[in-house]
Chain A
Amino acid sequence: MKARVTQVQHQLKDVTRTAVLAAGLLALLLGCSPAPDVPVDASAPTTSSAAAPLEAEGDFAEPGSAATWDQPSADAAIQAATTATALFVSHPDDAQAWWAQLQPLLSATAARDYVGVDPANVPARRLTGPAVLEQDASAYLATAVVPTDHGAYTVLLSRQGGDQPWLVESFTPPPSDSSAARS
């Protein structure tokens, strides 16, 4: 008798497990999470009992270290702006090689957006003096004014941490500079 009850319980468990699996599969197909996250830390804030969105397995980009303004940071920002702008205005013979050199000096967003630029359409051709840094209230941002034969370019830089390089977000030509177009 007892054995029989156990067997029924097992059958019920199997049915339940199948149902749970099926529900989970359906939820996955529908883009929902199959079960709420289980907080391991009991002191954590209350979590919703509703289906929780998941973060998939894998690595997230590590944040950089805390940044603060100091002389090496400022020197590095000026150097980054000068190097990148000199290359930007260089009117190379080989646009592909130019891009291969420029891209690593740009932020991810700038690299996405500047890929369409034809270097032959850059109005400036050379730097005409030292870059001047406008130190930002944020230690993660810097603006450099870079003089060229076509006026002063404003170069916005960002860094992801004190231990990360300064990268160019944008080269903004002097005001009232009409865009010249067109390959």
Chain B
Amino acid sequence: MKRTWIAVAALVAPVLLTGGCLGTYLLIQPPPPPTCGPQGVGTTDTPGAAVQVAGLPTTAVAGYRGEQLANAAAVMDAARALGLDSHAQTLGVMVAMGESSLRVIDRGDAVGPDSRGLFQQRANGAWGSYADRMDPTTSATNFYRALVKVPGWAQLEPTIAANRTQRNADPYHYRQYWGPAQQVVAALAGATVTTVTTDPAAPVPGAPAAAAVPALACQPPPPGAADLQAPAGSWVKPAVGPLTSPFGTRRHPVTGVVRAHKGDDIGAPCGSPIYAAAAGRVITAGTASGYGHLVVLDHGGGVLTRYGHMYADGLHVRVGESVSPGQVIADVGSDGLSTGCHLHFEVMRDGELVDPAPFMASQGAVLG
């Protein structure tokens, strides 16, 4: 799927194993700020016990407090008990936020009047008894057991992995909860979590948060982290690197075949940012034959810019979004008909692909 990343991953495997989660960026650019979730919650391991949380922030975290944070801790604990990592912990908290606002609710909804608990699991036998579905730890455990059966769940966008587990009607429903879930998991990772024991005189001290499980899947740097500060009406170069193959015809270095090349190739390193060349709307962001993944921006006035060869997880915008000049829209990749990381950049005017270099130069953004 992503040969380059696999190769890079192999090179930095020792880093990953020692707890680093910036592996894919390490060799090519200064590491971005850590964006992986915190590393799990220390707990004692008495599955099924009621969870009591001490040392939590007394103020709300992302709008969640008290009982809600305790339930989040139970979800995280269930993930950890199954040997799952902080990505999974955050994913479970995200789903419980989207289903129940992290409350063990004893009622369903329009489509599932029999839905119950943190995950709104139904009474169809797939999610256990009523008591199971109303128990934070058991319901979370059953959620995770279903999640890990989803092929490639850790690499999917969290809301999609969640949808394939929950089978809910809106696959994007949980997206809005990913950020808050990251905040809650971060806050709880520093907390001390203890279980209620049968002997109150001998409380089990909470283990420190160092019971870390390395994250399997790092999230890409948040969009906007490295946006260029460009004036509203301006044009900027879409990537930093030399022009390695210009618009026009070219002879293939290996086969000698001469064929049309309808864009400019910019030799920017793997994972480096691709910037919106100007203000516009995202009209395409997905797979396209040859391009691997393609993003197309509509700038109005019949002008489109097109960006190719990114990997699926290197897209940071979605169709319908508005972008500003210099906003990071994607990461440079080598997907599709490509043998090395670069940006294939195209400009369309009134339905025709034109030479990007002179067009961009005329807008004050010289490529290369």
Which residue numbers of A lie inside 8 Å of B, CB to CB?
28, 31-41, 44-48, 50-61, 63-66, 107-109, 112-114, 116-118, 120-123, 136-141, 143, 150, 156, 158, 160-162, 169-173, 177-183
A181 touches B167 (CB 8 A): yes
B66 at interface (Cβ–Cβ under 8 A)? no
A182 touches B368 (CB 8 A): no
B344 touches A116 (CB 8 A): no
A45 touches B245 (CB 8 A): no
B267 at interface (Cβ–Cβ under 8 A)? yes
19 more A-B residue pairs beyond the given contacts A182-B112, A182-B122, with a C-beta to C-beta distance below 8 A: A37-B250, A46-B368, A48-B243, A50-B244, A50-B267, A53-B267, A56-B337, A61-B290, A64-B351, A66-B348, A117-B169, A120-B111, A123-B109, A158-B283, A158-B284, A169-B319, A178-B98, A179-B166, A182-B120
Cβ of A112 to closest chain B Cβ, rounded Å: 8
Q: Given A47-B246, A56-B338, are A63 and B306 also a contact pair (CB < 8 Å)?
A: yes
A55 touches B124 (CB 8 A): no
Contacts of B163 in A (CB 8 A): 113, 116-117
Closest A residue by C-beta to B256:
A38
Bound Cα distance from A137 to B170, whole angstroms: 26
Cβ of A102 to closest chain B Cβ, rounded Å: 12
B357 touches A45 (CB 8 A): yes
Bound Cα distance from A22 to B126, whole angstroms: 59
Bound Cα distance from A181 to B167, whole angstroms: 6
Contacts of A177 in B (CB 8 A): 170
Cβ of B163 to closest chain A Cβ, rounded Å: 5
A141 touches B167 (CB 8 A): no
A179 touches B169 (CB 8 A): yes
**Which of B17-25, B55-63, B181-189, B294-302 lies at the binding interface?**
B294-302
Closest A residue by C-beta to B367:
A45
Bound Cα distance from A63 to B339, whole angstroms: 22
Cβ of A66 to closest chain B Cβ, rounded Å: 3
Task: Pick the residue among B255, B290, B319 that contacts A109 (CB under 8 A).
Answer: B319
Task: Identify which of residues 247-295 in chain B touch chain A, using a CB-to-CB cut-off of 8 Å.
Answer: 247-255, 257-258, 261-262, 265, 267, 281, 283-291, 294
Q: Given A45-B367, A116-B171, A117-B163, are A50 and B242 also a contact pair (CB < 8 Å)?
A: yes
B258 touches A179 (CB 8 A): no
Closest A residue by C-beta to B248:
A41
Cβ of B118 to closest chain A Cβ, rounded Å: 11
Task: Pick the residue among A39, A59, A113 that contacts B172 (CB under 8 A).
Answer: A113
Bound Cα distance from A31 to B108, whole angstroms: 54
Q: Given A57-B257, A61-B291, are A179 and B319 also a contact pair (CB < 8 Å)?
A: no
Closest B residue by C-beta to A45:
B357
B316 at interface (Cβ–Cβ under 8 A)? no
Task: Pick the residue among A45, A54, A136, A156 that contacts B338 (CB under 8 A).
Answer: A54
Contacts of B285 in A (CB 8 A): 109
B164 at interface (Cβ–Cβ under 8 A)? yes
Contacts of B122 in A (CB 8 A): 181-183
Contacts of A108 in B (CB 8 A): 286-288
Cβ of B110 to closest chain A Cβ, rounded Å: 5
Contacts of A50 in B (CB 8 A): 242, 244, 267
Contacts of A143 in B (CB 8 A): 320
A44 touches B248 (CB 8 A): yes
Cβ of A135 to closest chain B Cβ, rounded Å: 13
Task: Tell me which of A31, A53, A122, A123 has the highest count of chain B C-beta atoms within 10 A of its own C-beta.
Answer: A53
Closest B residue by C-beta to A122:
B169
**Can you list 21 A-B contacts with CB-CB less than 8 angstroms, sorted by A residue number?**
A31-B3, A31-B7, A45-B357, A47-B246, A59-B289, A108-B288, A113-B172, A123-B169, A137-B300, A138-B298, A140-B281, A141-B283, A160-B284, A171-B169, A172-B170, A179-B166, A179-B173, A180-B112, A181-B119, A181-B166, A182-B121
